[in-house]
Amino acid sequence: MFHKEGFKIIIGALFIVIVLSLLANTFVANPTIRGGVVVTLIILLLLILQFFRNPKRNFLVQPEYVLSPVDGKVVVIEEVFEKEYFNEKRLQVSVFMSPINVHVTRYPVGGKIVYSKYHPGKFLVAWHPKSSEENERTTVVVKNEDFGEVLYRQVAGALAKRIVNYAEVDHEVTQASDSGFIKFGSRVDIFLPLDVKVKVSLNQKVKGGVSIIAEK
């Protein structure tokens, strides 16, 4: 199963692979070189397919928990001053996604969207300390009955050239439902109240919409 954001790219890549393979078969006389070209094209197609995959999972609404919005590895757990929306200290948990991770973004909690904003910016590597403030990004705040306002931020990386964000202000959303997509390596930052209990550790691998990030 593939994410809808990848349909055009997948179809385009398939067309290019077929055309180039036919051209190689017609104009490249050396069978070794011809075979190498075809194999390389197939590998590139497979990489694109795996990047846009959207595996079926048994998503359960768990209002007592904050769930990971994406697949990846936890790279930050620290108290920070969040200055875009809260203007106060929050607990930040960041998940880094490599190009081989599933890049679907999911709502970490359910509730009402009270803030959704896109920021153009740089394309520093996603693990750079300043990427959360200087890179292209989107910031979304969900007002939740149990955790209050939870902010998550999609941050583009050095390879990510497009962030897709479905969150619209005043819309009611369900925990773990699809909230967007980030194309290629990137990260997502979550900003939580200081009194939550973090349930993950640094370098832990997590799954979007499944792994528990925090609880009250």
Kindly list the catalytic residues.
186
Query: Does residue 116 contact residue 139 with C-beta atoms inside 8 Å?
Result: yes
H runs (alpha helix) in 70-137:
131-134
Which residues does 61 contact at the CB level (< 8 Å), separation at least 6? 110, 174, 175, 176
Q: Which of 52, 99, 91 is nearest to 73 (CA)?
A: 99
What single-letter amino acid sits at 211?
A: S
Q: What are phi and psi of 4, to 5 degrees?
A: -60, -25
Which residues does 65 contact at the CB level (< 8 Å), separation at least 6? 199, 212, 213, 214, 215
What single-letter amino acid sits at 205?
A: K
**Inter-CA distances, 141 with 118, 123, 173, Å:** 12, 23, 11
